Structure 1
Amino acid sequence: MNKKLKLTRHSPEEEAQIQRGIDSDPETFIPSDEQFAKMKPLGRPRLESPKVQLTVRYDADIVEAFKATGEGWQTRMNNALREWLQTHRAA
């Protein structure tokens, strides 16, 4: 079933009512520009050498063999390629 959703915006009066509710909440904290600038970002810190996302095709039996080893199979596949590079010269 492919229904189109109709989005409606709040009227200016509704927006004002919502804002009054926010302003009257004693737990609402709106940081100053200075406080905001000092806040630390959420999430993981950036890696010094982040991984590169790419699309690659492997034979199905190779992928299944790694997947069969359970969670973390992509890391093990990466490690196997790294190990190969240590013993072979890349062309």
Structure 2
Amino acid sequence: MTAKWPSFITKDLGKTPEDDAEMTRRWEVYDREMQALIAAGGVHMDDDGWWVDDATGELIGPDPEIERPLTDEELTRARPFKDVFPELYESIQRARGRPPVDTPKKQITLRVDQDVIAKFKATGKGWQSRINEVLKQAKVK
């Protein structure tokens, strides 16, 4: 087995027609290299669709059919996740982030002496909330 595995990197590409053409070119190279590697033997596909080097157990790459760019026809047929799986989408939406509160706290910038911050941080998690409580109890003139 060779130590250089095919790669298909596209994070540097944008959404222009030139970038689309470059992505297709890169995929064709990746596909050709993976097919040659598979044909040479010494690799097997695991349950997740990844090719694995039989000798070392090293992951080589995903199945080229999984990795390839979608065709225009496939993109035309694509539908939003929330339309295909509405119940799952709703459960994910409900589970994300903190629930809304009636009176949310306002984020501000405040300069505080370093020793004051150090004392509050030394009290552990939730030190910012404790500062808030002290400020609530302070008598403002």
The reply to whether TM is greater than 0.5 is yes
TM-score by length of 2: 0.39
1:22-71 per-residue CA deviation (whole Å, 9 max, x = no partner) reads 57xxxx8255xxx9xxx585333321111011101000000000000111
Look up the match of 1:58.
112
The residue type paired with residue 74 of structure 2 is: Q
Q: CA deviation at 1:17?
A: 2.3
Q: Tell me, yes or no, if structure 1 residue 29 matches structure 2 residue 84.
A: yes
Look up the match of 2:99.
45
The residue type paired with residue 64 of structure 1 is: A
The residue type paired with residue 116 of structure 2 is: I
* Number of equivalences: 71
Larger RCO, structures 1/2 (Cα 8 Å, 6+ apart) = 2
CA distance in 2, matches of 1:63, 1:55: 14
For residue 16 of structure 1, the aligned residue among 73, 85, 95 is 73
- SS for the counterpart of 2:84 is coil
CA distance in 2, matches of 1:7, 1:50: 40
Mind listing any 5+ residue stretches in structure 2 that lack a counterpart? 1-10, 25-69
Mind listing any 5+ residue stretches in structure 1 that lack a counterpart? none
Look up the match of 2:134.
80
1:63-83 per-residue CA deviation (whole Å, 9 max, x = no partner) reads 000000111000111111112
The residue type paired with residue 82 of structure 1 is: K
CA distance in 1, matches of 2:118, 2:131: 11
Please tell me the root mean square deviation across aligned C-alpha atoms, in Å.
3.2
Percent identity at matched positions? 32
Structure number, greater radius of gyration: 2
Look up the match of 1:7.
13
When residues 81 and 30 of structure 1 are mapped into structure 2, their CA distance, relative to the original with a 3 A threshold, is same
Q: CA deviation at 1:18?
A: 4.6
- From the two aligned structures, give the one with the greater strand fraction: 2
